[in-house]
Structure formats: C-alpha cells, structure tokens
C-alpha cells in the first residue's frame, strides 16, 4: 500500500511539473510572438539576402523608433542641419582600401521613403537569456582605462584592446575600420570592432553610442560579419539596444540595413577592406548622427534619449572587444580583429586608421595625446602610430588563447 501511494504521489508530482513546464513554455512562446510583432513592422517590400537574412523595407514613419512615447509626434529630420567641417590638416587616405557593400544588395534595394530592417526570427529571441534582454549587451561591458576613476567594476568576461582620448569635450568621432571575420569559440561569445562615444561616469549613469562591425552567433544565429550600432543611457541596464531592436534610433537611409552582413572581407596576407564610420552631434538640433562610408547618412539618436550626451562626450574610444567565457578555466580562443597581434602590421593585423574627433567648433581633427589600454596584452594587444598617409592609427587584436595566454 505504501509503495502504491508513493508511486501515485510521484506520478502526480511529475504531472504537475510537466503541466508547469508546459505553461511556462506557452508563456514564453506567447511573449516571443508579441515581441516579434513589435519588432517586425509590416513591409512595403521584402528582400531575401543570399546569407538567409530577410530584409523588410518598412515605411520610414512605421519603424520601431516611433514606438517610443516621446516620438509619437516627432517629425523625421531628413538630413542633419550641420556636418562636421574638415580641417586643413585633415588626412583622408583611400590608398589600399577597396569598396565594400552589404550582401542583401545583390537581390534588390529598398524604395524611397522606406528603411531596410533585418527581420527578427523566433529563433533569434529564443537564443537570448530572456525576451526582455534580447538585443541588449550585458551590464558593465565597457572598457575602462586605468586613468578612469570608476565605481563600476570591470566585467571579467569582456576584454578589450583600444585607443582612447579624454579630458576634453567631444562632439563626435570618426575612423576607418579594417573588416575581418574573427573565429568565435563559443556561441555565447562575440568579437567586435567599434568606436565608443561616452558620457557621464563609468557608473550606473553611463551614456554610450557605439558603431562598428561584429560577429555574434548569439545575436544573429551565424558567424557573419555585420554592421551594427548600439546605445544606452544607463550603463546597459534598462535602456538601449543593438541596431533597431528597440525604440530610439531613427533611420533615414533606404540603402544600409543595421545588423546586415557586410562584404567582401579582408584576407590574411591578401586584399584588405575597411569601412568608414562617423558619429557627430548636430550643433543645431542636438541629435547624434551616424554616417557610413562617404555617402550614407544612416540616421540619428534623438538628444532626449541621453542625459550626459545631450551636451557632449567626455571620452572617445576606438578598438576591439571580445567575450571571454573561460570555458573549463581556459582563456577563450575567440579572435579579436584579424586574430593576429598588432606587430604583424598591414595585411595581417587589423587596424583603425584616420582616427579623428569632432571638437567644439564642429571641426574634424586629429586628436592629441591618444592613450591605449588592454586588460591582457598577451591575449589581445594594441599599438598606436601616426603618419602622413593614415593620420593617427592603431593596429589591434590577437588570437586569444595561446602559449602566453593560457
């Protein structure tokens, strides 16, 4: 009798657990479906990219930005009121760089008055730790040079190799970034190369605008190299996201899709490709604009999204970042940049060239006193330099785990 009773209780408990798990899964599916409906707006046209991405051409006034309550009656600014002025000593070299595009362009283009948006799939959401956290960086993933007085402990799971400037007011930054496809060890790791526009302290109130390229299997479901942007006004806690995965950034370009693959990519010892990114603050409207290459003004982050960056930035950074999950206690073999150290130089190590800042007079100029920072130079390193052809530049990156980085 006791055995039968115990068995019955066990079966009842298992049934309750099964029912509970089923309800939780149903809730997750329902939540994912609602979130997909918020993100994927009805398209005017759809383009299937050779890499499997679906690009939706969405009317400019229907993009996710306008889900923000402060943007309900916003009039889209179709162009910036002011561009940064090029100073007389500005260096802009196109030597050794080749043209670069996005893969989806092979199968079509979006019409005028629409913006191309990479469609989010159900599997994308389910890879995230939660639907709510989808499209967001982990808290405290910012590189902090030793000169920074911070109450924000450095995230041990993130490593960087960067150049930076501080000690002034900055109204934008520009760089031309060598493009590679670094190898990723674990799907929950990523490798990116970007510029950071930073305001506030390195505490809970950090403001950041970021742009560059990344390889992120967790976010995109593959190992393609993709153009991306990011923003936050509270150190990656509750605000901001990648690309157009939340309300905030307003896109105006019908040519370039955030989060879409870029090609071709650089070859070790072979052809080198790079992308140019400029982010600046419009001195009239106060919005932060981004330009890709010489021809594509992508859009803007409205000034109200930020606290400190409503005025200016306190620090600019250029360089690479990886996630190091330290599987079984060993350093990751996820690569940064080309996966090779800076001393190998052009064609082998990844670079940022023509590094510039926008000053208070809205002039693009070469920064003074550029510092460098890396947590572990035996894993990923950075070296800076200056010449007539490239202006200020850095080589950066590395292979991760090696004999000097166990």
Is the CB of residue 15 less than 8 Å from the CB of residue 7?
no
Catalytic site residue from 321, 328, 335, 375: 321
Q: Are strands 114-118 and 313-323 parallel, antiparallel or unpaired?
A: unpaired
Collect all residues with Cβ–Cβ distance below 8 Å to 9 and sequence separation of at least 6: none
Bridge partners of residue 373, in order along the sequence: 162
Token output for 157: 């799971």
**Where is 400: in which H helix or E strand?**
none
Q: Put the strands of the sheet holding 45-48 in their side by side order.
A: 45-48, 54-59, 114-118
Distance CA 338, CA 349 (A): 6
Is 343 annotated as catalytic?
A: no
210 tagged catalytic: yes
- Tokens standing for 160? 């960087």
CA-to-CA distance for 193 and 143, rounded, in angstroms? 12
Distance, in Å, from the CA atom of 217 to the CA atom of 201, rounded to the nearest integer, reads 31
How far is Cα of residue 17 from the mean position of the Cα atoms in its chain? 40
Q: Which residues contact 384 (CB under 8 A, 6 or more apart)?
A: 163, 370, 372, 392, 393, 394
Catalytic residue among 85, 112, 155, 210: 210
Q: Which two tokens stand for residue 48?
A: 């299937």
Catalytic residue IDs: 210, 321
């Amino acid at each position: 009798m006791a055995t039968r009773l115990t068995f019955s209780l066990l079966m009842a408990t298992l049934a309750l657990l099964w029912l509970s798990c089923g309800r939780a899964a149903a809730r997750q599916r329902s939540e994912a479906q609602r979130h997909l409906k918020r993100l994927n707006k009805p398209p005017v046209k759809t383009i299937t990219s050779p890499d499997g991405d679906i690009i939706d051409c969405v009317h400019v006034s229907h993009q996710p930005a306008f889900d923000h309550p402060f943007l309900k009656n916003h009039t889209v600014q179709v162009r910036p009121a002011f561009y940064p002025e090029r100073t007389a000593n500005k260096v802009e070299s196109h030597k050794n760089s080749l043209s670069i595009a996005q893969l989806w362009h092979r199968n079509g283009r979006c019409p005028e008055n629409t913006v191309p948006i990479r469609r989010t799939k159900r599997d994308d959401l389910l890879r995230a730790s939660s639907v709510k956290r989808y499209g967001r960086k982990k808290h405290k993933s910012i590189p902090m040079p030793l000169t920074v007085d911070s109450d924000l402990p450095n995230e041990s799971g993130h490593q960087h190799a960067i150049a930076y400037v501080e000690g002034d007011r900055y109204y934008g930054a520009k760089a031309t970034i060598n493009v590679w496809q670094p190898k990723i060890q674990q799907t929950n790791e990523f490798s990116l190369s970007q510029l950071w526009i930073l305001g506030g302290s390195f505490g809970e109130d950090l403001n950041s605008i970021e742009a560059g390229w990344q390889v992120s299997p967790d976010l995109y479901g593959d190992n393609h190299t993709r153009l991306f942007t990011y923003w936050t006004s509270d150190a990656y806690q509750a605000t901001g996201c990648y690309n157009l995965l939340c309300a905030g950034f307003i896109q105006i370009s019908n040519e370039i899709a955030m989060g879409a693959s870029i090609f071709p990519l650089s070859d070790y010892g072979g052809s080198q490709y790079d992308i140019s990114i400029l982010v600046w603050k419009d001195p009239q409207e106060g919005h932060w604009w981004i330009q890709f290459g010489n021809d594509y003004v992508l859009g803007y982050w409205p000034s109200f999204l930020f606290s400190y960056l409503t005025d200016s930035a306190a620090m600019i950074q250029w360089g690479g970042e990886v996630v190091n999950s330290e599987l079984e206690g060993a350093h990751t073999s996820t690569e940064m940049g080309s996966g090779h150290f800076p001393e190998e130089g052009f064609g082998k190590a990844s670079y940022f060239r023509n590094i510039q800042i926008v000053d208070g007079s809205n002039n693009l100029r070469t920064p003074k006193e550029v510092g460098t920072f890396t947590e572990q130079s035996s894993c990923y390193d950075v070296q800076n330099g200056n010449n007539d052809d490239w202006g200020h530049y850095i080589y950066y990156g590395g292979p991760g785990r090696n004999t000097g980085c166990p």
